[in-house]
Chain A
């Protein structure tokens, strides 16, 4: 399998090189030709066409709009990224706090539920000017996973967690990792909240949950990696583990003695009694008497016995993870998979990991630089040229794509979409994965498929099945026809498309531009034209309403056909 992966990556690379040499497309290969062993960064620069801008926005946002395409063209990729990174984050916590205040005007004992967080997600995904940051929040929430599916996760706390991801999206990974580790909702979700030191008398040992998952899922992963993210193997070809269960047991002692924030901490507040009103949104605090004072040896590091400073030891442990050689390639691959492609070439992963390791100014973990490296890489812009390139669009992002492309609005202003978790809906709702392993795994290979035969991973395919494909199609049919959510709260009028509806070719062109960045197949185009032309626009004595209905139906048909087409469902 290692052999096959190698061959495949080489194939992708050759394709990329061939394109670069041919000067094809609008790729401005600033850095010169990098080879498979090259260390230069083949970054893209100019967004000379609407198509390229729309493709870039498909990777970097919740979906292109007419305005954002023009914006990227005006600013260039780099300029747009700078502008986006300077745009402040929306606050989901402020949103849910406002909502509960409103709700309590009429129902004084009401409590928040996940619905209000979902409102904030769809509102900001659809309308926030900080689109790159919004998109990064979702990406990070699928790597540093907490879930509203678990009743221990509180809605206010979840909103603050999501804000924290956004605040750190272009900061430093080390800070992000620390704030994730100390967030009370991560504490309750992965159960290091209130974790107590070992008791040699009874054999009771600290909870190992966070110790394991912070290594496996959020920093270094289970196997040792080369700088390009490929798996290191021993002489027998077996993967070399990154850690042992002893490492987990030992590091678990670091994550003891943390619990709820309280201005006057006590044993009671450690045990979760007498909660402070802000404790769901403020970092956990150390409680020295519950922290293990034994020595802790993990990943080649030993923290000597005797210290009661839990906070200092947590920093030491996180530094070990932060500085581990796996962390750059591990995170690079996962972020590339969330934004751009399921099977990045080792060279692409290596380039992004190198930026993680050093942003050019000697700083490790600069996530702004990492984000730029991912989105400006030449492989991201030439992604459509290989049959195995790209990724399945996540169901949630398909819906935001519709909202943005067609400028859907919320009747209530609150985007009352509700839960989209059911497999007869989108099979996915924000911050509501079934487990810390997210909705899908980065290493998922769909069985009995062309992808599987080619040894390609396809994370999003883990939630594609006979039920969910139909559930998605029906959800979109409802949204496109009438709107979506409580009282079909989120609706589009398709003004731009209705204006073109007399011309089936123009309507197909519009779909191609706004949803498919110019990649529409001739087959899909013909199906749209046939279907659109089959709806007659009445003339003569017809009323304006009859004419408008026909034009609207033409627009709906074109959108539905496009959004259920497999060629739309893959982003490349």
Chain B
């Protein structure tokens, strides 16, 4: 915890210094900036979407630990063949095979007993106590696999946004249950809610808000505007604008794939390579499918060689590879694919200045969140991967060629939906609102934004105004969450209204978590 604070202080000092004159060659500046005292941050901003495909159970990600909330949580989830109730803060992890004094059960790999208690976090702004709970003050914590995120939260570079979900307009439980107020189509459906998070509409949507933000900023990227919206995770409607087109990269050291057979000779022919180039990017077919395929090939060929050269530069190769991830269930070290994707993002950021790029939007993803069963082990590992990858990215952003780029880059989580509050025995089912993380030097960290809801399903005389059936009714819309970051990236109020036509339905246009 002292480490990040220490670095932060250095940044604020270093940020005010002018070490070298403007006339010094850029390379010399970089070399001189190799020490901790860097330049003031360049004019560069990027937004990084970390999409958790499958619907993360945020009830076991960010928890309310005050007695009233936790009791209802524990009672509800401490049941079934593999109970999924996490244990109170301060509960020490026990070895596999040992018996827990708290639950009376034998710890198995990844079980709540094995991974230990919830990690407490203390928001800088006390959360209001919502209706329906008897709590007088609320306390919070994170899943035990999220220790690196607790460090970032405490250091003020990460915040939680509570109960975010897809919405058309504000809606109460009663309105939702009466079906008398608009809400998104196909709630609880994976593909449709992924699309609604990314593009405001069900499957088949063609314009996402990352791409629309890209439309507004791509003009700042000069001749390399092709690299405005970048995915390391396949086609994502999030990155498609009205004009901006997503660009796909691999996580290899050379991120673009050069098409072979386009060099000097092919199968003994010096003519064939040029015909290969002409053929593969031919866009003249009367078939729309064929012409569109040729267009993608054309984009692929246009940029591959140049991009790979950039990634071979000292600026890119200076970005360290992620350390191996220690799997908390198997105890083995493994490659963290999400961290590898963020390494590619970091390398792209490292070459942004030499490529004349000033604003970018990125999409990375991690699957495996549809935890209808064996949730304990799978979510513990997956949350560990997210925390490991985000902490790696934060560290790397702290020193890009000697510059602290943290305040230039904001990363945030997204997911199909959150999951049911009750367990089905060893997992959870599809639901609606959930909690998310925003990270970066421009994030007002260490806080929880939005209203953290009352927990518990209606039973007996208990009525939870925040939960319809088994799903949290969101109190913050994806549009508000997105617009807050879009404004930071540079979109105007009018631009935000154009991107998010439902934003005007909500009282707060800005959730206040960006500085």
Contacts and interface: CB of A to CB of B under 8 A. Distances in A.
27 contacts: A191-B372, A196-B424, A202-B76, A202-B422, A212-B430, A342-B289, A443-B203, A445-B205, A446-B206, A465-B296, A467-B300, A470-B256, A470-B300, A470-B301, A471-B257, A474-B259, A531-B272, A534-B272, A535-B268, A549-B268, A557-B267, A561-B275, A566-B285, A566-B294, A569-B293, A572-B287, A572-B289
A371 interface: no
Interface in A366-390: 387-390
Nearest to B261: A477
A205 interface: yes
Nearest to B244: A448
Interface in B56-104: 75-76, 79-81
B511 interface: no
B275 A530 contact: yes
A23 interface: no
B79 A241 contact: no
Contacts of A534: 269-272
Given A447-B207, A534-B270, 15 more contacts: A199-B79, A203-B457, A204-B424, A208-B372, A208-B429, A212-B188, A443-B203, A458-B289, A473-B297, A523-B284, A527-B279, A531-B271, A560-B276, A567-B290, A569-B290
A557 B272 contact: yes
Contact of B279 (A448, A466, A561): A561
A195 B424 CA distance: 8
Nearest to B275: A527
Interface of A: 190-191, 194-196, 199, 202-209, 212, 216, 222, 238-239, 241, 245, 248-249, 271, 342, 387-392, 423-424, 434-435, 437, 441, 443-452, 454, 456-458, 461-471, 473-474, 477, 481, 521, 523-524, 527-528, 530-531, 533-535, 549-550, 553-554, 556-557, 560-561, 564-567, 569-570, 572
A342 B290 CA distance: 13
A435 B293 contact: no
B380 to A, nearest CB: 16
A535 B275 CA distance: 13
Contact of B297 (A523, A528, A533, A566): A566
B166 to A, nearest CB: 15
Nearest to B247: A466
Given A204-B424, A434-B367, A444-B203, A553 B268 contact: yes
A390 B286 CA distance: 12
A473 B273 CA distance: 13
Task: Report which residue of A424, A457, A527 has the largest number of chain B beta carbons within 10 angstroms of its beta carbon.
Answer: A527
A457 B204 contact: yes
Interface stretch (B234-242, B334-342, B488-496): B234-242
B317 interface: no
B297 A469 contact: yes
Contact of A209 (B240, B244, B245, B429): B429
A542 B206 CA distance: 58
Interface in B262-314: 266-272, 275-276, 278-280, 282-297, 299-301, 303-304
Interface string B222-236: 000000000100110
A206 B424 contact: yes
Contacts of A530: 271, 275
Given A387-B287, A564-B276, A565-B279, A207 B425 contact: yes
Counting contact residues on chain B (CB < 8 A from A), the size range is: 35 or more
Contacts of A342: 289
Contact of A216 (B76, B189, B205): B189
Nearest to B283: A566
B401 interface: no
Nearest to B302: A466
Nearest to B187: A245
For the residues of B in contact with A, the DSSP-based class is loop
Contacts of A249: 469
Interface in B91-119: none
B354 interface: no
Q: Which of B192, B205, B271, B469 gathers most chain A CB within 10 Å? A: B271
Contacts of B430: 208, 212
B506 interface: no
A467 B206 contact: no
Contacts of A194: 81, 373
Contacts of B457: 203
B275 A531 contact: yes
Given A447-B206, A452-B206, A569-B290, A470 B259 contact: yes
Contacts of A447: 206-208, 211, 237, 240, 245-246
A527 B278 contact: yes
B250 interface: yes
B243 interface: yes
Given A535-B268, A553-B268, A207 B282 contact: no
Given A466-B303, A564-B280, A454 B235 contact: no
A521 B275 CA distance: 14
Nearest to A208: B429
A534 B266 CA distance: 11
Given A222-B189, A465-B234, A481-B267, A271 B272 contact: no
A234 to B, nearest CB: 12
A564 B185 CA distance: 40
B203 to A, nearest CB: 5
Nearest to B281: A566
A388 B288 contact: yes
Contacts of B304: 466, 470
A549 B268 CA distance: 9
B285 A441 contact: no
Contacts of A567: 282, 285, 287, 290
B424 A208 contact: yes
A110 B266 CA distance: 42
Contact of A470 (B79, B257, B269): B257
Q: Which of B53, B192, B257, B303 has the largest number of chain A CB atoms within 10 A? A: B257
Contact of A523 (B80, B240, B268, B282): B282
A303 B76 CA distance: 28
Contact of B422 (A203, A391, A450): A203
Contacts of A196: 80-81, 424-425
A553 B372 contact: no
B357 interface: no
